[in-house]
Amino acid sequence: MYKVNEVFETIQGEGSFTGAAAIFIRLQGCPVGCSWCDTKHTWEIKDTLRQPLGDIVIKTAETEHWAEVSPAELLALFATEGYQAKHVVITGGEPCMYDLNPLCHILHQHGYSTQIETSGTFEVKAPADTWVTVSPKVNMAGGYTVLQSALDRANEIKHPVAMEKHVDELLQLLQRTDTTAKLVYLQPISQQRRATELAIAMCKRYNFRLSVQVHKYLGIS
């Protein structure tokens, strides 16, 4: 069973799958404590805010409400809602607080591809053919460290940047893992102009890629 904050169909706006139609499953719960987090409503799991899945799907605003849902119920929901996308992004919150194997397996069996967006501070429990995006969170308020196992499992590393120290943090992390088969992105925090200019300059210097959160520029979820 998974604690689900949101389920919706949209366009993936970040990283390697930018522009792809996708179904997002946003899970509730995250202790990492990123100061710039844009989904702080997913941090706490309050029993008093549990709702039926039907109420979660029709949300019109970000709330802390969540539903407890099985993999089979999520799969059935896709059909009920008429979702056409075949790529599923599991995000949060921190999705790797959960064992994602049961959810990913049932989705793969029904023709979906899966992607996880994680801070890298929890072990990634998912099938080998799930695409793993690690957005490493360093020195956050929760005191968690980026796990070696998460870095090694990552298909792409997408690092949020606002200052040069964030690039330095990334360079130190990259020394810990083989990046030969990994894609490395810099993502400006909150569309700040200076952060974007810095990210572009650092992408040129280190041959990284740029991720600009296209969905926010388009004004969509």
- Residues making up the binding site for [4Fe-4S] cluster: 30, 34, 37
Going by the annotation, the residues of the binding site are 11-13, 26, 30, 34, 36-39, 91, 93, 135-137
Going by the annotation, the residues of the binding site for substrate are 11-13, 26, 91
Going by the annotation, the residues of the binding site for Mg(2+) are 39
- Any idea what the Cα angle at residue 90 is, between residues 132 and 112, rounded to 5°? 85
Q: How far apart are CA 100 and CA 107, in angstroms?
A: 11
Tokens of 62: 């970000």
| 145 CB neighbour count, 10 Å cutoff | 12
The H or E element that residue 200 is part of is helix 193-206
Tokens of 174: 């990259």
CB 9 within 8 A of CB 21: yes
* Residue indicated by tokens 């695409």: 131
